Amino acid sequence: MTASRRLFFALWPDDASRRALAAEAERLAPHCGGYPLPAENMHITLAFLGNVDASRLEALVDLTRAWPALQGEWALDRLGHFPKPRIVWAGSQAPSAALLALDTELWQALSHHGFTAPQREFTPHVSLVRQADRAAPESRLSTPLLWRFDHLAMVESQLGDGGSRYRTLACNHDRH
């Protein structure tokens, strides 16, 4: 029996967006309860695969590296709260056509590898505060930001005592 790896596909923010999101998380945590996510963990999950048998890893790495070049923007201006996982997040008032299309295309490609898209609507968001007992006191980001994305990453989530640690296993672009 081979080991499994906890995998997801993500977009990482540029440094300016990462700093702005981390500052927003620090600002919100005292109002919402919970704790701010560390700046290095800020990302948008496009496809969460969960525990995947390590024997399938090579095909997923190949899929990631072969993904066409990306160039897009995402305007974040909204705050939200998922009560069940207790997360305060940043997202958009208006859906991002680029992100919705990327999510659809990615799940179509993953279906050829035996993965099935979730039966819920994709809500592009970046988690800011975990274990949040309350929603943010306002519904808008203090300063809207424009996140420019240019690469797709396949990431492994390693659960530990201090929370999740993320490690990029493959990217469709040489930067990582």
pLDDT for 51 beyond 80: yes
Token couple for 31: 């109002």
Which structural domain range is residue 122 located in? 4-171
d(CA 18, CA 158) in angstroms, rounded, equals: 21
Residue 36 falls inside a structural domain: yes
Residue 68 falls inside a structural domain: yes
pTM of the model: 0.90
Residue keyed to tokens 């005592």: 161
> Known catalytic residue: 81?
no
Annotated active-site residue in 125, 151, 173, 176 = 125
Residue 37 falls inside a structural domain: yes
Residue 150 falls inside a structural domain: yes
CATH number of the domain enclosing 120:
3.90.1140.10
Residue 12: CB atoms within 10 Å: 24
**Separation in Å, CA 120 to CA 47, 66, 117, 135:** 12, 27, 9, 22
d(CA 86, CA 111) in angstroms, rounded, equals: 30
pLDDT for 139 beyond 60: yes
Residue 176 falls inside a structural domain: no
Q: Residue 175 has what pLDDT?
A: 44
The overall average pLDDT reported for the chain is 91
Mean pLDDT of 22-46: 94
How many domains would you assign to the chain? 1
Token couple for 28: 């919100």
159 vs 42: which has the higher pLDDT? 42
Angle at 168 between CA 97 and CA 66, to 5 degrees: 60
